[in-house]
Structure 1
Amino acid sequence: MPTLIRLVIVLLVLVGLAYGAMFGIVSVVDPGEKDVTVRIPARDLVAAPERAPVRREIDTTRTAPAAEPAAPDAEPKPAPGTGEPLPEPTAAPADGEVVTVAPPGVE
């Protein structure tokens, strides 16, 4: 056990020295600011046709085929996790109206 304690103490001292060195460098060193100018040749600003990157055009004229309406099921589908059928809506919803049907027993 004394060897383990000695190892931990030595590691703590090394970590403390490293932390102290980092703290000292941060407090002493002041990074200077300077302006940086990068010249870009005019030929690089205008893309030449032979050097232009390859661009693929996306064909947006095609439309997806219309989906066929689903046939009404003969029997109602069971509510998830309960095995019981969902209750039917009481009235037909108006065009664009959202109807939420909760499984039985859920309030």
Structure 2
Amino acid sequence: MESAFSGHIYRQNGQGVTSILSRRVEGRLMWKQRIIGLHLRSKIDHSYLSQSQHADTKGKSVETALHSLVGHIEKANQYGDFTMVAFMDIEGAFNNVDPMADVEAL
């Protein structure tokens, strides 16, 4: 079946020329990712998650994670201990996971 729309429509913006079609496709992909994310979160047994888990946890955010971290550092300083912190961000980790593999794992 041939698409009724072929080619790209380009629009001039402040940063140059962008493809409206590619932005629409990206928007649809983001919408699908949100739906899959909501579905997965509804199926997760939250008793398996650590109380230290802040990502994808209702009522927690980057700010609460940082507040908790600073609290641990301050407490260690009060007791004369030292604190070592390692941050790890796996770029693209969520974008490269097959959503059906997540669903099957549940």
Structure-1-length-normalised TM-score: 0.27
Bigger CA radius of gyration: 1
Highest RCO, 1 vs 2 (Cα 8 Å, sep ≥ 6): 2
Q: Which has the higher strand share?
A: 2
